[in-house]
Amino acid sequence: EDIEEALRPMFRALPKNEHGKLDHAASRYALHRLFVLRHGMYIKGLEPGGKGWTGSSSPMEVLDDLVPAYVQSLFEQRVDGQGLGMHELSVLAATLEHLVHDEAVLRLRAAYEVHGVALDSRMPGWKIEGIVDTYMVIFLQGLSGHVSLGDILAKTEDMITVYPSWPESQNFTRRVQSGVAAKHSSSAEFQDDTLTFNATALVVEEVVERYGHWQDAECRDLKSALLRLEDEGTGRVLLKDFYGKALGGAWQFTESREYLADLGALDDSQPGRPSVIIPNYVKSHSNCLASSRIFSVCCLNECEPLLGHLEREVGAPDASPSRVLELVANLPSSTVKAPREISAEMRGLLDDIAKEHGGKVPLHGRLFGQWL
């Protein structure tokens, strides 16, 4: 999907400055959501709560230490204090995608080196599967710099312990490899079931682009496990039940109370009944599976596609409460089928948001985000 096409509904719905462009905060917000929606990636410096969500920080700062200073300077000159239009935002997004691909190629070079395979050689598909496995060990374990065969062997032995879904991950990368090979079967890079380095690079680039959405199935399993422990429809799990589940061995819920508080996942508003806020816990960095210099792979926010649908339908920064209710009622999610019943309490909360904003609900405001 073309980047500009993917950005257009979001760009149209976000509030603009006097130049008809996005200010720094809105630009960073748009870039963050684009990469989450397209690839399940959380770009460092753009993630919620990061420095990128302050109004004075330039979205180009995400390129710090990633591109030469003169390239960053060209972006700054093009924007010239007026904010980012659709074209500038698309170019910045494409630059970030290119950097992600470059990083994947560097990781692949390290995997080839571990296996003692020359970059100019052709390898059979079964051998490439082993190289891609090594690539994934490097990626998921966050290894950097020179990696030895001994390091990889030790880390591979640990994979099933630290990452129980490792066999499923291997099946996923093999499916991607088969799909990429079939797609490029007429290319000289993919001949006689052998792949060149460039062909393997196409495989790992697609793995990285698709991995975030693939691994989110595990996040949904995590959410389902917590919902089975939910305290009377509150969206919370009592802390004693949370740790009790860990002792049962199904999911290892072992984070300390202090750490849960730091994550924003602890609710201690009821004396003697501390609880874990399910969506906050699932989306926390505690559940990120991989990280690189540029991005992390974490559980996805289920509200993102819902908000994207609202942006496409409304095409403006805000809407009346009745229009929002009409659209939301017909939106399914992983836990609720459409049409959904919206309680009187939730309707009242939406009306309260509108009263604070001249009768309209700002789609990208903090209060509506919490409501959604």
Sheet (strand 190-191) strand order: 123-124, 194-195, 190-191
Q: What number is the average pLDDT over the span 18-31?
A: 87
- Whether residue 270 is predicted with pLDDT greater than 90 in this model: the reply is no
- Residue 249: the pLDDT is 59
Mean pLDDT to the nearest integer, 246-269: 80
Residue 339: pLDDT band with limits 50, 70, 90:
confident
> Would you place residue 74 in the very low, low, confident or very high pLDDT band (cuts 50, 70, 90)?
low
Taking only the tens place, the pLDDT of each residue in 159-168 is 888 888 899 9
Q: Which residue has the higher pLDDT, 49 or 363?
A: 363
312, 288, 257, 224: which is closest to 7 by C-alpha? 312
Strand pairing partners for 78? none
pLDDT one-digit tens code per residue, 305-338: 888 889 989 989 999 999 999 898 887 766 677 6
Q: Check pLDDT > 90 for residue 146.
A: no
Q: Residue 198: what pLDDT?
A: 96
Tell me which residue of 204, 369, 225, 223 sits closest to 290, measured CA to CA.
204
Mean pLDDT of 177-188: 94
Residue of higher predicted confidence among 76 and 220? 220
pLDDT confidence bin for 208, thresholds 50/70/90: very high
Express as a percent the part of the chain with pLDDT over 90. 37
What share of the chain in percent tops pLDDT 70? 89
- The average pLDDT across 250-262 equals 81
Q: How far apart are CA 114 and CA 174, in angstroms?
A: 20
Alpha carbon separation from 300 to 30, 241, 324 (Å, rounded): 16, 24, 23
The answer, yes or no, to whether residue 1 has pLDDT greater than 60, is no
Q: What would the mean pLDDT of 43-66 be, rounded to a whole number?
A: 65
pLDDT the model gives residue 65: 66
Q: Residues 143-169: what's their mean pLDDT?
A: 86
- The predicted pLDDT at position 40 comes to 87
CA distance 143 to 140: 8
Q: What is the pLDDT, as a whole number, of residue 54?
A: 47
Q: Is the pLDDT assigned to residue 52 strictly greater than 50?
A: no
pLDDT at 176: 98
Give the angle 310-44-19 at the CA atoms, nearest 5°: 55
Q: What is the pLDDT of residue 372?
A: 79
135-138 CB contacts, 8 Å cutoff, 24+ apart:
135/107, 135/108, 135/111, 135/204, 135/207, 136/169, 136/170, 136/173, 136/207, 138/107, 138/110, 138/111
Pair of tokens at residue 234: 């509150």
198-218 mean pLDDT: 94
Q: Can you give the pLDDT at residue 71?
A: 62
Higher-pLDDT residue of 128 and 153 is 128
Residue 32 pLDDT more than 60? yes
Q: Is the pLDDT of residue 8 over 70?
A: yes
pTM: 0.82
For residues 124-148, give the mean pLDDT.
91
pLDDT tens-digit series, residues 98-135: 999 999 999 999 999 999 999 999 999 999 999 999 99
Residue 51 is predicted with a pLDDT of: 45
pLDDT at 276 (0 to 100):
92
Q: What are phi and psi of 124, to 5 degrees?
A: -65, 160
- Average of per-residue pLDDT across 212-236: 88
Can you tell me the distance from the alpha carbon of 160 to that of 156, in angstroms, rounded to the nearest whole number? 8
